[in-house]
Structure 1
């Protein structure tokens, strides 16, 4: 019987490294071999609202081709002691790298076949694919590679003709009274904040406080503490804002009334139910008690007209009034456009119905909050007003969140059908406008937005507005 060890190739049995042949003038690099086309079969079936299940089967020939291509590349690139690059025997390469080659080919085939299947089937995938039992998928010695992947896709949306939409707009005029109110507001904004000592809290004051949040209704200080915040500033709102206040991102009803008349060292206790959308499970939908311990009361002393005109770089009070009137005119126009957009949003939801994919709701809610923040900033709201609005939005119920998600898909479909895109110039222009409203440098604001990931939200916000403007071009508009 022949000795089986005679058929085993070892490193000592193979041809050792030989001197390299000298280069000649005619030597040229061989072009890289093109990757062979992937052969596969795909079956698609519905697996839920806006969800597809794909069964992908890669042919045995494609598997063999990818393995061969990997070994060919290794034969060229692999460095093995005792052998010149490109001259190591194939069997040695297979023995050394076989396991990693199979893992690499398996991952590549899944990635390539998935991408090809999505493209061939024309699926508009959203979110990440869910490859079933990914860790159990193995590259077969013979036969095909088969696996199942589930994906969420953009739902089918049928958009009616734009002339079926009808919106109303209100005629408006910027009055001298409007200008005077804006000047008073600016005088407060540029005024100096000062502690009032032993005075009592009034509307528009800022209360600096230490805030504790306890679990339970009418909880005492011995209850479980689920949150505490030092140096919190609370704006005391009046009737215009329904006396609502915002404490640690939580909307507190009639907080302005509860704080009015209080002094430093006084304590205000509020028993309430935490908002359903709060990120902390101990607060979300739970009975809580918020304890506000007043540490300081600060009030704004408005600047006088001379100082205000100097700070704003205008020559006189009349120039300031003219400038403010122009700004208010532009702001009202944007507000009017925003109201027409709101009417369109309502009608789009009424006219278009479809089922939503379930898994992306949470991600979309977060994007919606950023989008709303961009919209409020564009309307000229100050940062504290934006935070207050976002706190209100967090209190909305799940039904509203689903409406927002449906609206996103509707507008996305219309934008794609009408090839609506956003240019870099439009993004830069919006950043410039927001920077002017916030009284900061555009380049500084852009840097902040890039660091916080808000540029994408700004892009989507502009795209949505352009899409709604496109609908308005064909809609019926009535002035009342």
Structure 2
């Protein structure tokens, strides 16, 4: 079914030898619109469509149906409109409602400065277009915050610098190979770097929260959960063997999903069920084929490149934080709590996606994700403010993301994960996260524009402690 706008004549329909008449402006509704602010980033919209506009649309739809409808006793296009309206009343009313709503919402978007974040809260099924009189409908919608961009030129930034050497590459190679390691059971005492199978119980105020919770963890300095962590985990398990028990106190994060438990202390009892040594794979042709390289030298080159991307990621994050702290310092506008909560998972996934792009291993990403979940609300609120500001800068600077940009990111991600790039793209397109990747690239380019105008002071980069965290 065509739209009303498609029926307007175009200059292409007029022979070149004829004088072309002045183009007729497209038909528009004479809407009455009332928009009210009802909270941070929320608007209430009331739309009134006059009876004359509804009659125009009804006649337009009837003309369309008349030209196509098959009515017994009449040749195509010759059946009276009243018979068509009676015979196809349901189809007619559905089409009228669709054109009235879509047309009015599109015109509303053109005529107002409303920039919706989500679909409007509109119950279309229960709306009915009246046979006579005006049609009025209303809805609430979450919108982008309105704000003036802060100045973003000549910002002074401390830029962390770190050179990587052979020892760093050896350490990165170790982390890379651990993804393909074999776990060998051991009767000995737990050592740092071992893998342990644990049966845990968690008690709060004498009541059991979880019992017989089984998990496997590497023995590192910190064991991180989504809502809390155990510090000095390696010291806690030092000397323990299979069958031994250890106890620890966990303070629940102040932004944990369970509001009632925020800031509370939970007693954890950990029973060691099995101790395993981590046996790295042999550096042979089978492994090289598995990870997509020909030789050890080629593997080390790729590991070094991944390490450089990680250093660049750490540098970019440190610089980005300074930039965003400065440009969001004046962002006094608030975001509604329910909007922030709805975006928690998306913000979390975008952070994970960026770490994947930088070539971090799954354990490193998992540890970072659990850290973020402990501060998920404030992290998401800040990330959303950053997104709105960077998106506005990107629009002002005319920043675009090319297919080449996306292909390059996917290639790096696939390389670091040992995955086929076509398979990775297909999976990301199917799950709808390619748009997230494009948004990240666009925001990164916006940060690059700010940095191109910044004044830098180089400082030593602190080494990340993420290598000592297990999640």
Same fold at TM > 0.5: yes
Comparing 291-300 and 66-75, the one that deviates more: 291-300
Q: Distance in 2 between matches of 1:95 and 1:187?
A: 73
Pair 1:260-2:250 in alignment: no
Flag the 1:199–1:282 CA change in 2: closer, same or farther, 3 A: farther
Q: Is the contact between residue 155 and residue 357 of structure 1 (CA under 8 Å) also seen in structure 2?
A: no
Q: Is the contact between residue 234 and residue 245 of structure 1 (CA under 8 Å) also seen in structure 2?
A: no
Query: How many equivalent residue pairs?
Result: 434
Pair 1:144-2:116 in alignment: no
Q: Is the contact between residue 201 and residue 259 of structure 1 (CA under 8 Å) also seen in structure 2?
A: yes
Find the counterpart in structure 2 of residue 356 from structure 1. 335
Find the counterpart in structure 1 of residue 429 from structure 2. 450
Pair 1:163-2:141 in alignment: no
Q: How does 1:104-253 map to 2 (within 5 A)?
A: 104-131=95-122, 137-186=127-176, 188-196=178-186, 198-211=187-200, 216-219=204-207, 223=208, 232-238=215-221, 243-246=222-225, 249-253=226-230
Q: Is the contact between residue 76 and residue 86 of structure 1 (CA under 8 Å) also seen in structure 2?
A: yes
Q: Is the contact between residue 276 and residue 395 of structure 1 (CA under 8 Å) also seen in structure 2?
A: yes
User: What displacement does 1:470 show?
Assistant: 0.8
Flag the 1:430–1:325 CA change in 2: closer, same or farther, 3 A: closer
Q: Is the contact between residue 309 and residue 315 of structure 1 (CA under 8 Å) also seen in structure 2?
A: no
Flag the 1:289–1:451 CA change in 2: closer, same or farther, 3 A: farther
Q: Deviations over 1:332-371 (max 9, x none)?
A: 3443233211211211221433232554212322221011
Comparing 51-60 and 353-362, the one that deviates more: 353-362
Q: Is the contact between residue 237 and residue 245 of structure 1 (CA under 8 Å) also seen in structure 2?
A: no
Q: Distance in 1 between matches of 2:64 and 2:453?
A: 58
Indicate the structure (1 or 2) with the bigger Cα radius of gyration: 1
User: What displacement does 1:85 show?
Assistant: 4.3
Q: Distance in 2 between matches of 1:307 and 1:75?
A: 72
Q: Distance in 2 between matches of 1:279 and 1:359?
A: 13
Unaligned 5+ residue runs, structure 2? 1-5, 9-25, 460-471
Q: Distance in 2 between matches of 1:473 and 1:387?
A: 33
- Which of 279, 295, 311 does residue 301 from structure 1 map onto? 279
Q: Distance in 2 between matches of 1:333 and 1:400?
A: 22
Q: Deviations over 1:379-429 (max 9, x none)?
A: 321012111111110110633432222112111111111121211111111
Flag the 1:208–1:179 CA change in 2: closer, same or farther, 3 A: same
Flag the 1:309–1:67 CA change in 2: closer, same or farther, 3 A: closer
Q: Is the contact between residue 190 and residue 308 of structure 1 (CA under 8 Å) also seen in structure 2?
A: no
Q: Is the contact between residue 152 and residue 357 of structure 1 (CA under 8 Å) also seen in structure 2?
A: no
Q: Is the contact between residue 269 and residue 290 of structure 1 (CA under 8 Å) also seen in structure 2?
A: yes
SS in structure 1 opposite 2:117? Answer: strand
Q: How does 1:43-54 map to 2 (within 5 A)?
A: 43-54=34-45
Q: Distance in 2 between matches of 1:142 and 1:260?
A: 81
Q: TM-score, normalised by structure 1?
A: 0.78
Flag the 1:320–1:391 CA change in 2: closer, same or farther, 3 A: closer
- Which of 325, 329, 332 does residue 346 from structure 1 map onto? 325
Unaligned 5+ residue runs, structure 1? 1-31
Runs of 4+ displaced beyond 6 Å: 280-287, 304-312, 319-323
Q: Is the contact between residue 310 and residue 360 of structure 2 (CA under 8 Å) also seen in structure 1?
A: no
User: What displacement does 1:42 show?
Assistant: 2.2
SS in structure 2 opposite 1:377? Answer: helix
RMSD (Å), alpha carbons: 3.4
Q: How does 1:17-32 map to 2 (within 5 A)?
A: none
Q: Deviations over 1:237-259 (max 9, x none)?
A: 12xxxx2334xx45432244433
User: What displacement does 1:41 show?
Assistant: 2.6
Find the counterpart in structure 2 of residue 5 from structure 1. none
Comparing 341-350 and 160-169, the one that deviates more: 160-169
Flag the 1:106–1:187 CA change in 2: closer, same or farther, 3 A: closer
Q: TM-score, normalised by structure 2?
A: 0.79
Pair 1:369-2:321 in alignment: no
Flag the 1:65–1:235 CA change in 2: closer, same or farther, 3 A: same
Q: Deviations over 1:276-315 (max 9, x none)?
A: 6555689777775655444332221245677899678576
Pair 1:389-2:368 in alignment: yes
Comparing 282-291 and 395-404, the one that deviates more: 282-291
SS in structure 2 opposite 1:127? Answer: coil
Find the counterpart in structure 1 of residue 13 from structure 2. none
- Which of 28, 39, 63 does residue 72 from structure 1 map onto? 63
